[in-house]
Amino acid sequence: MNHSEDFEQIVKDAGIPTTEAEMQQQWDQINTDQGSLIKNDNKWSSFWKLVSALVTTPALWVVKFLINELLPNSFIKTAGGTFLDILAWALGLERKAAVFTQGMITFNRDQVGNALVVPAGTVINTPSINGAVYSLVTLADTEFPNGELTVAIECRASGSGVAFNLAPGYYSILPEPMAGVLSVRNNDDWITVSGADAETDEELRLRCRNQFTAVGQFHHDAAYKAIISEFAGLRIDYIWFEHGAPRGAGSANAYLMIDSGQPDQPFVDTVNTHINDNGYHGHGDDMRCFPMPETVHNLSPNAYLNPNLTPEQQTAVMTGIENMIRCAFRENQAFTVTQTWPFTRFSFSQLGTELHEQFPDLISIEFGQDDIVSLMALPVIGTLSITKHLGAQAL
């Protein structure tokens, strides 16, 4: 929402002229009130050209700065950048920095019996996702255990950000083949440190807003949101509470999610440990965190493509469609698309519209199912099977 008109009105209400014409009118009045003998008020006169150069132009600079910068950046609702950082600092908050994803990648070898070491710095890639390839790098030399065909190796993303928090199966390519290694893969619950983008202005604004309601720091949701968000790096709007004494009087649950969906249980365990070890005892003496529950949905859409596409173009479009649908269900972050949330209706018609905007060669897509209406649960994909059709008619 643009509030510039509101701030301009504040300045006008203070009696400050905001345009060149209004300022010249003020100068005219001052000239008259002072009994000046200068009567040539033509804007081309030497006098008024001098006044504009010496007074009006700098005054306009100051007024525009007041309306467009100083006033908007005086309020959390409209401040941004460094100004918002300063307002957050006054509330005891700092903007969260970007975080690098870390996790365990499973390496599979062809036979046991031979010593095989995966060196530090080994790169594991994804296929191209909307034109981008994401990479992880092993952190230490790791030897396959004697008699074992697999080993899980800790890796770190090559860059920071939530885009590296990909669903199982995406990290599957060794750009430099390694003798004896058959395959690599990120399995379920592979993430040990969830990657995050640097906190945006809107996310920081939400934490500032929450801080106003968390003044007491005990016995209410806002305080726990502040505690969890500060410790775990979660967005404020990724935390939901369940009241009603789920484990008896005074108890409550907090359900957590991350950009890539449900957080791993070890991550949630660290949050619970932090709450318990630091003596936070709001909501009675029993507040526990849980991963956001999931509802699993099997999708079988029909995609109708431009029949004039080459086989390579067909493959590219179908891969893009699949990745964008998976992005909507939070398996990657490579597209701008409406994503699933708890307590919402996920619209397949909206998803279809966004797919058409992204892929002009998609004639039509039929999902053949109702919207997903969620309560305290996050919709995720069980299986996704897209049937390709060329032209407007099914073959």
Instruction: Please determine, for residue 227, whether its predicted confidence score (pLDDT) is greater than 80.
Output: yes
Secondary structure class of 89 (helix, strand, coil): helix
Contact 301, 366 (CB under 8 A): yes
What is the per-residue pLDDT for 393? Answer: 61
Q: Which value, to the nearest 10 degrees, does the dihedral of the CA atoms of residues 384, 388, 391, 395 take?
A: -110
What is the per-residue pLDDT for 217? Answer: 45
* Res. 128 pLDDT band, cuts 50 70 90: very high
What is the per-residue pLDDT for 215? Answer: 56
What is the per-residue pLDDT for 17? Answer: 84
What is the per-residue pLDDT for 153? Answer: 96
Residue of higher predicted confidence among 14 and 238: 238
Both structure tokens of 384: 């996704």
* Res. 395 pLDDT band, cuts 50 70 90: very low
Distance CA 200, CA 72 (A): 17
Q: Helix (H) and strand (E) counts for the chain? A: 10, 18
Instruction: Please determine, for residue 230, whether its predicted confidence score (pLDDT) is greater than 90.
Output: no
* Res. 51 pLDDT band, cuts 50 70 90: low
Residue of higher predicted confidence among 313 and 246: 313
Averaged over 90-116, what is the pLDDT?
A: 90
Listed residue (62, 40, 67) closest to 51, CA to CA? 40
* Res. 322 pLDDT band, cuts 50 70 90: very high
Residue of higher predicted confidence among 84 and 28: 84
Instruction: Please determine, for residue 42, whether its predicted confidence score (pLDDT) is greater than 70.
Output: no
Contact 376, 341 (CB under 8 A): no
Instruction: Please determine, for residue 330, whether its predicted confidence score (pLDDT) is greater than 80.
Output: yes
What is the per-residue pLDDT for 41? Answer: 61
Distance CA 395, CA 388 (A): 9
* Residues paired with residue 289 on neighbouring β-strands, in sequence order: 254
Distance CA 338, CA 230 (A): 26
Distance CA 77, CA 169 (A): 41
Residue of higher predicted confidence among 126 and 266: 126
What is the per-residue pLDDT for 314? Answer: 95
* Res. 279 pLDDT band, cuts 50 70 90: low
Residue of higher predicted confidence among 130 and 53: 130
Instruction: Please determine, for residue 280, whether its predicted confidence score (pLDDT) is greater than 90.
Output: no
Averaged over 138-146, what is the pLDDT?
A: 94
What is the per-residue pLDDT for 218? Answer: 45
Averaged over 100-119, what is the pLDDT?
A: 92
What is the per-residue pLDDT for 233? Answer: 79
